[in-house]
Structure 1
């Protein structure tokens, strides 16, 4: 068994720590460590990973993100995970741990990162048999962000008859840095969901083990708000008032659902209140943009 390590990067400070861990850790060394810097091309992690694995010489290609923390014995545990796997196993996924604060409830952003611990097939730490990557054609570079591109590849690999197993190695994924509007910017992923639907079919969420999306609810909230404004513009106050009440009620319910499991500090409540009003129209806009952009994509 031999393997290569591919790390797409945008220059995060953790990269040097990661490379030091790979150099000094216990276990068999990789054939090579390939770091693909995406800061100049801005083609996204899918393209960066494709560049890396196509240059790799190992029978296995271990994809590792530049913001994870590897255990000192990661190389030994990876080798143990891969050793002796039957030919029909195309990939081995690590167990991802997201450390959360012990002294308070996690914020909305922290809960979002914590979802990586139960996600299927994420490339924060994922080793693919090189043959499986070649047969599937690698990552679809139409996915511009680190979102859905890994799950879509995993579906195609499995469609080629390979199994994906979960290894025993554990990798830590720290909570991602967040700003006031991070949750609003994250709605760009709705455009990628449109591409995912085109590529994997209408039941793609169940195929990747995901929960139902909130887009239908966001569409209702957004429609109520837009129609309330239009009614006010044409002077239909009664209809506009009723629709405004629907928008306020749905927005308040959404905000409360996000506030309740969190720390409920003044800053978090303010952030949830503002972003809960902005997320529904942002989600709808990005989904519409994605549907239009990928309208000619076929399975």
Structure 2
């Protein structure tokens, strides 16, 4: 067994089916790779997919369900620690690997070395995407993401695998990348290893809900402050703090009855909020529904984002503002 593919999932059988179809049709010797799907908790609906696949001429296909939900980082650890391959490839259940994906990974990876690979991610978006589509498309620019990466088992053992403190799908891949860097394990960029990452359907106002993930930025910063500032975010969210400061000044003026304070705060809050709205709409969809979403969420996001950032700072005991 040369290579094992680990796919974390949880109650998304329709997305997973497309991913599995691509993995089972790889242009690679079926006897030389396995696919391990790890459910992040009990998931009878997903297990049924595997029951329907039995008896067919496929590569080794395994379904493992974790006893309780712990997040994709824990699911990936559970998968690669149970893998038979000397190379471990990772992708997500909402991704579609190219038919030659595994062939390209193996061609550029010596299983006897401590080495990692990062492939090319393609995110198809419309010419004028929504804000959510644009954020998803940013995955194409990432240095190292679990939608398309691989490590030798030796490298994962040396680095220590994924940190299971990252209990949501956020920053756990950057954490592994920084572990590899700190352990002097080279990360090779392999453009020929392709994975398509379609944009999932989103609910109205999803960007507000997404801000909860910001608390894990605090954890990553605590572990690797220099690498975080170098590769993730070079500075604090100054715009958000300006918006919040303006709002608090306006509120203070209203409470104390000081018109000049109310006016100053109003100008600061409205001006920077309008700038934020304009920035988000500049290259995105200009339908009435999307404009309304950007206006409403742009008013809310600075407060929610800073709340979760400070929540993470307190939770992980780090000065991260």
TM-score by length of 2: 0.85
Q: Please say which of residues 237-246 and 274-283 is displaced more in the overlay.
A: 237-246
Task: Give the drift of 1:292.
Answer: 0.4
Aligned to 1:174: 198
Residue in structure 1 matching 2:282, options 229, 246, 260: 260
Superposed, which structure 2 residues align to 1:20-169 within 5 Å?
A: 20-29=21-30, 30-40=32-42, 41-82=68-109, 84=110, 87-88=113-114, 90-101=115-126, 104-167=127-190, 168-169=192-193
Cα offsets for 1:35-60 (capped at 9, x unmatched): 11114423111111111111112111
Matched residue of 2:74: which SS? helix
Task: Give the drift of 1:28.
Answer: 2.5
Aligned to 1:284: 306
Aligned length: 291
Task: Give the drift of 1:177.
Answer: 2.1
What is the distance in 1 between the residues matched to 2:165 and 2:233?
23
Q: Indicate whether 1:191 and 2:191 are aligned.
A: no
Q: Please say which of residues 284-293 and 129-138 is displaced more in the overlay.
A: 129-138
What is the distance in 1 between the residues matched to 2:130 and 2:294?
10
Matched residue of 1:161: which SS? coil
Change in CA separation of 1:64 and 1:93 when aligned onto 2, cut-off 3 Å: same
Cα offsets for 1:49-80 (capped at 9, x unmatched): 11111111211111110000122232323322
Q: Please say which of residues 19-28 and 169-178 is displaced more in the overlay.
A: 19-28
Check the 8 A contact 2:215/2:313 in 1, yes or no.
yes
Check the 8 A contact 1:28/1:79 in 2, yes or no.
no
- Structure 1, unmatched stretches of 5+, are none
What is the distance in 2 between the residues matched to 1:25 and 1:4?
13
Matched residue of 1:35: which SS? strand
How large is the RMSD of aligned CA atoms in angstroms?
1.9
Change in CA separation of 1:212 and 1:271 when aligned onto 2, cut-off 3 Å: farther
Task: Give the drift of 1:262.
Answer: 1.2
What is the distance in 2 between the residues matched to 1:136 and 1:125?
18
TM-score by length of 1: 0.91
Aligned to 2:317: 295
Cα offsets for 1:251-271 (capped at 9, x unmatched): 001001111111211111111
What is the distance in 2 between the residues matched to 1:276 and 1:137?
39
Change in CA separation of 1:198 and 1:6 when aligned onto 2, cut-off 3 Å: same
Q: Indicate whether 1:246 and 2:268 are aligned.
A: yes
Cα offsets for 1:190-215 (capped at 9, x unmatched): 21111111000145131x3x354562
Check the 8 A contact 1:21/1:70 in 2, yes or no.
yes
- Structure 2, unmatched stretches of 5+, are 43-67
